[in-house]
Structure 1
Amino acid sequence: MTQKVLVTSIFLHAGGEVDHLLRAEGFEPTYAPALTKRTEDELIGLLDGVSGAIIANEPFTDRVLAAAPDLKVISRTGVGFDSIDVAAATQRGVVVCNTPNVNRYAVAEWTLAMMLGCARHAVKNWTEMNAGGFKRFEGTELYGKTLGLAGLGGIGKEVARRAHAFGMTLLAVEEYQDQAFAAQYGVTYVDLETALEQSDFLSLHLPLNAQTRHLINAERLARMKPSACLINTARGGVVDTVALAQALREGTIAAAALDVFEEEPLPADSHLHALENLLMSPHVGGVTTEARQMSGVRAAENLILALKGQAPASPVNPEVIPTARYAVSAT
């Protein structure tokens, strides 16, 4: 019996490279693009008889997993997996995979774009010209400024490389310190409080978990320079959005740039839309042709290996693999 694979990432489609990969291995892909926020009940309906899923950010909760007894593998076309109850998946022997570093260049470039957007008031200047005006909004240079990086993994390092080329002073908050990299790019490892106090720009590159949720709260925003800019291209929940909005309104910090939000899509009536010193984009940091192509292929390769009972390249819960009872043929 052919195994069904559910594909929800909006950029994957029938006839594409991933589709050919799955069919060549004898799997039957079905496509249900997640165009809006998907409910648990909607997801449960899609998982009937499904052995593996290549997903975006659907809510794979304990309830969803309990209702999908045939599911053996969840493979993310991205880095974050906070929408998946990994503990519940592990308990049920479901392998969870992600695709780390596939979008690191894309996200790093977008981070620099957001920094420049804040520093040079890019949107205001472009909007002024498009409206037929010629008022100039004076900005500030990145050269000589201090960039604090909360997280110096794959993406954080790519941001550091680019910021180094701009002549910025680099601080990093990172548990696993790469001293060779730090020496090459002039990175100084510091604690978070030091980064908050000394950074002109603070850029977040952290996963969302119990330790990092609302890491940037009212107390920590108050420790930043009044002239500082906060940039988040990681996960929306790392920042307490209510506290950030208040800090921006009151001038606690000068500006912020967000590519990610606690609720996505961001509601049209969100109070964030009214903030003139907030630059926002719709979670597009990793949305490039190159990053999407690579993430789709890597996610498919992870899923194929896992469904064959082999170790995928990037399992989130590798402890499941040695004892998993899912090794079956594709047909």
Structure 2
Amino acid sequence: MSHRCVVLDDYQGVALEHVAWSRLEGVHVSAVREHLAGEDLVAALAGADVVVAMRERTPFDAALLDRLPDLRLLVTTGRRNPSIDLDACRERGITVCATSALATPTVELTWALVLGLARHLLPESRALAGGGWQTTVGTDLAGSTLGVVGLGRIGSRVAALGQAFDMDVVAWSPHLTAERAAAAGVRAVGKEELLASADVVTLHLVLGPGTHRTLGADELARMRPTAYLVNTARAGLVDTDALLAALDAGGIAGAGLDVHDTEPLPADHPVRTHPRVLATPHLGYVTADNYRTFFTEAAEDVAAWLAGEPVRVLT
């Protein structure tokens, strides 16, 4: 029996280079580079019984699943994917499997954004390209305060690097204990104290009903006008309209954003051109080693499912 496997949202055109998909006997594997939705997505997946989704780029809800009667295996890169309706998949007999993911790529990009904001790398680079020379004064990280919101697998690593920069590191999350924070070498504080005291606030919470819009207008108003906000976690943690308003009013100095409410970000979205925003197109997990992990394990998931013994099963 032959199988059709489609890899979605392969923006860089590298999905088929990272693993020998040809080892999957009887499986024809193709990749789609552009982001598809609606009828275009349904047409691209017609006849496919296996789909590999790149993180949360393409939502799979009940309505879409009803349009894909041949789908039997859905593989998501990464450990979880809230864009997949697992209950709907279970009801339709669709197996959902995951892959591992490295924490370090997102940690590294977080610090790229922190450093880029603190040293005004974007405006300085643009000024230099236009013939200018030294137009801003950078912010010192040593001796300043880093506020880590979410001290989990990624947040704890970000906190450790903050200490390496000689920053005072404080942390908060809804269930963080003083003992767990101390084990990571940081101080647990309340959310209000973190926002009021931090020179850099960086978000690393899992998005869920209890964390949606953790930072709204009231919370942003507690931050220092000289402080920076960095979000490499999920866009839904922040009220984007309130953030843009705070930036326009000078309520905070700047924001580094790798995640966005709509992805790809619309061409006319103000985040793309805001002078106080350093924005990247959700690059936190986009590294060679992470992609190698994603696609190697995705192929393993397909092989195990074909053998009747699926692995890394979400449902």
Q: TM-score, normalised by structure 1?
A: 0.84
Give 1:41's aligned amino acid. E
Give 1:75's aligned amino acid. V
Selected match of 2:37 from 6, 23, 39: 39
Q: Is the alpha carbon distance of 1:125 and 1:54 closer, same or farther for their aligned partners in structure 2, counting shifts above 3 Å?
A: same
5+ residue gaps, structure 2, are none
Is 1:60 aligned with 2:60? yes
1:256 is displaced (CA, Å) by 0.7
1:84-119: per-residue Cα shift (whole Å, max 9, x none)? 2223223323233333432x2111111001101111
Q: Report which stretch shifted further, 164-173 or 186-195.
A: 186-195
Is residue 151–residue 181 contact of structure 2 (8 Å, CA) maintained in 1? Answer: no
Structure-2 residue corresponding to 1:16: 17
Give 1:84's aligned amino acid. I
2:250 and 2:231 map into 1 onto residues whose CA distance is 18
Q: Is the alpha carbon distance of 1:9 and 1:180 closer, same or farther for their aligned partners in structure 2, counting shifts above 3 Å?
A: farther
Q: Is the alpha carbon distance of 1:15 and 1:186 closer, same or farther for their aligned partners in structure 2, counting shifts above 3 Å?
A: closer
1:249 is displaced (CA, Å) by 0.4
Q: Is the alpha carbon distance of 1:184 and 1:143 closer, same or farther for their aligned partners in structure 2, counting shifts above 3 Å?
A: farther
Q: Is the alpha carbon distance of 1:147 and 1:27 closer, same or farther for their aligned partners in structure 2, counting shifts above 3 Å?
A: farther
Give the alignment's Cα RMSD to 1 decimal: 2.5
1:176-209: per-residue Cα shift (whole Å, max 9, x none)? 6598874454122334333222221111123333
Q: Is the alpha carbon distance of 1:189 and 1:302 closer, same or farther for their aligned partners in structure 2, counting shifts above 3 Å?
A: farther
Is residue 156–residue 184 contact of structure 2 (8 Å, CA) maintained in 1? Answer: no
Matched residues, number: 312
> Is the partner of 2:51 in helix, strand or coil?
strand
Is residue 16–residue 31 contact of structure 2 (8 Å, CA) maintained in 1? Answer: no
Is residue 228–residue 253 contact of structure 2 (8 Å, CA) maintained in 1? Answer: yes
> Is the partner of 2:154 in helix, strand or coil?
helix
Q: Is the alpha carbon distance of 1:143 and 1:95 closer, same or farther for their aligned partners in structure 2, counting shifts above 3 Å?
A: farther
Is 1:294 aligned with 2:310? no
Is 1:75 aligned with 2:75? yes
Give 2:198's aligned amino acid. S
Give 1:46's aligned amino acid. A
Taking the TM superposition and a 5 Å limit, the aligned residue runs for 1:163-312 are 163-174=162-173, 182-183=181-182, 185-312=184-311
2:250 and 2:100 map into 1 onto residues whose CA distance is 36
1:50 is displaced (CA, Å) by 2.2
> Is the partner of 2:233 in helix, strand or coil?
coil
Give 2:66's aligned amino acid. A
1:54-81: per-residue Cα shift (whole Å, max 9, x none)? 1122121211112223322221224562
1:280 is displaced (CA, Å) by 0.9
Q: Report which stretch shifted further, 221-230 or 189-198.
A: 189-198
Structure-2 residue corresponding to 1:4: 4
Q: Is the alpha carbon distance of 1:116 and 1:13 closer, same or farther for their aligned partners in structure 2, counting shifts above 3 Å?
A: closer
1:122 is displaced (CA, Å) by 1.4
Is 1:48 aligned with 2:49? no
Give 1:201's aligned amino acid. V
Give 1:268's aligned amino acid. A
1:47 is displaced (CA, Å) by 2.7
1:199-231: per-residue Cα shift (whole Å, max 9, x none)? 211111233333333222112111222221111
1:185 and 1:289 map into 2 onto residues whose CA distance is 28
Is residue 12–residue 296 contact of structure 1 (8 Å, CA) maintained in 2? Answer: no
1:14 and 1:265 map into 2 onto residues whose CA distance is 18
Is residue 14–residue 31 contact of structure 1 (8 Å, CA) maintained in 2? Answer: no
> Is the partner of 1:74 in helix, strand or coil?
strand
Is residue 154–residue 204 contact of structure 2 (8 Å, CA) maintained in 1? Answer: yes
5+ residue gaps, structure 1, are 321-331
1:40 is displaced (CA, Å) by 2.9
Give 1:83's aligned amino acid. S
